[in-house]
Chains A and B, each alone.
Chain A
């Protein structure tokens, strides 16, 4: 019986991360007075939404065996393209949003082409892109924050009203979960990361899959950046950056996505984001410092990855058992 439950966890990694999340919620609601306050729900939502949007893109890339370290810098860069679209180029506000998203997509395309066609590891390609985009963003922005353009209706719909970013994040999670779990694109993404040569011998266009997922990840980075710019009513030259990207990758890993490729889920990553958010809020309410938060986050990442690797070994030994 115990083994069957354990087996279910092996198959459904979301279940175990769900249990961790529940345990954290119970712990903090016992240890702090104000955990279930109305304000706190909003704090969690606002903290989680942009990370979850980026994490959904990182999951796709990690599954097909790549990573995008620059998604947090696209977050800043594309928000500025949106700003210039609405101001300098006098585009209607929605077209400015589209321009921002396209700029993100183009960065993803460049990441993908360099990684897949030239053969530079994505870790290096996107590491370079971090600095490139950061420099570019600082240049075009003049290193000063600006007020986010747009009218009242636009603001309400696009991140300005309470929970607006959360609704966007939920929409992204649903669409991406369907894309990964229910479409050819998702299945071929898993196949590409699970057996690159095999997938390619089966006729899967693995280059297209990888490049496409780079584009998806960067576009989601751009969406998150623009939404946050609207929510905060100002666009910062140094918003996002590597910290938000690392939170997104951490959430994906905590949620069961393998850094070796071939497995992972969007829902798992979303739960991983909630774990980070609950930890963040809980420690804040307890008056624990940000240093401790980083310390716990670091342990969580290492433990999750150790768990993943061990899990893989257990599955391998299970296969050897089947042979006899």
Chain B
């Protein structure tokens, strides 16, 4: 653990954001946000609706451009131009809609848009056998259980779909994964499976993850560090073993009682 910790300190931050500001017309979504995601870390991003979580994620995905501020990926400053550009830098987002095709098999979904093929010269055909094999191996490896790799995603539960979407993202060699409310609208048992998956990915140490969540209990189960976003600013940045559900609740409650202007 301590070896891992020192190693994490040696590597540059997966993402570092400095003084990001973003407004849409007269509405300022992000006032002044600075945060960092250490290599191999799971960072929980919490905050109310309208706190700016979605805007921040969309900036890190390359969907929006910040008005000002700087973004560093693996220590190098970047201008994220598009979703494709962000993806080419190893940043992938699992949105709430999961981007899965319900009528297609699990393994075709796993390899959508980076299908394995074989053939002669320009004549390329899907290598279904290899895609089945590699999907099965990878899902087994990270402990994701699905009824059948060949079954349609339409027949999977919400938790299984979420797990497939996350697995697809990590399998595509993404090193930085942004999870938008992965536990939304999910039962306790299903949620536990996703928390297990995120813990497993963390132990492998090759990905860094930002999780957006509402439920504080879940956040403490998954995350190494927690950032509280409110009114377009990071209000709190603590390691999860240095704070508690009670403390976070108290801060948010105090904020509500206080006048809203910062």
Residues of A within 8 A of B (CB): 178, 182-184, 186-188, 190-191, 194-195, 197-199, 201-204, 262-263, 315-316, 318-319, 322-323
CB distance from A212 to the nearest CB of B (A): 15
What 4 new A-B contacts, CB under 8 Å, besides A203-B114, A262-B103, A323-B158?
A: A195-B101, A201-B83, A203-B113, A315-B152
CB distance from B90 to the nearest CB of A (A): 14
**B125 interface residue per 8 A CB criterion:** yes
Q: Is the CB of A194 within 8 A of B104?
A: yes
Stretch at the interface among B4-12, B30-38, B92-100, B206-214: B92-100
Q: Which of A187, A188, A201, A203 contacts B95 (CB 8 A)?
A: A201
Q: Which of A182, A195, A315, A319 contacts B126 (CB 8 A)?
A: A182
Q: Is the CB of A195 within 8 A of B102?
A: yes
Q: Which residues of A contact B99 (CB under 8 A)?
A: 195, 197-199, 201-202
**B115 interface residue per 8 A CB criterion:** yes
Cβ-closest chain A residue relative to B94: A201
Provide a sorted-by-A list of 28 A–B residue pairs whose CB atoms are within 8 angstroms: A182-B126, A183-B124, A183-B126, A184-B115, A184-B124, A187-B108, A187-B112, A187-B115, A187-B126, A190-B104, A191-B104, A194-B101, A195-B99, A195-B100, A195-B101, A197-B97, A197-B99, A198-B98, A198-B101, A199-B99, A199-B113, A201-B83, A201-B97, A262-B102, A263-B103, A319-B156, A322-B156, A323-B158
Q: Which residues of A contact B114 (CB under 8 A)?
A: 203
Q: Which residues of B contact A183 (CB under 8 A)?
A: 117, 124-126
Cβ-closest chain B residue relative to A200: B99
Q: Is the CB of A188 within 8 A of B113?
A: yes
Q: Which of B113, B152, B158 contacts A202 (CB 8 A)?
A: B113
Q: Is the CB of A178 within 8 A of B101?
A: no
Closest 10 CB pairs of A and B: A198-B99, A194-B101, A201-B99, A203-B113, A194-B103, A195-B101, A191-B101, A262-B103, A182-B125, A202-B112
**B58 interface residue per 8 A CB criterion:** no
Q: Which residues of A contact B117 (CB under 8 A)?
A: 183-184
**B84 interface residue per 8 A CB criterion:** yes
CA distance in complex: A322, B152 (Å): 12
CB distance from A312 to the nearest CB of B (A): 9
**B173 interface residue per 8 A CB criterion:** no
Cβ-closest chain B residue relative to A199: B101
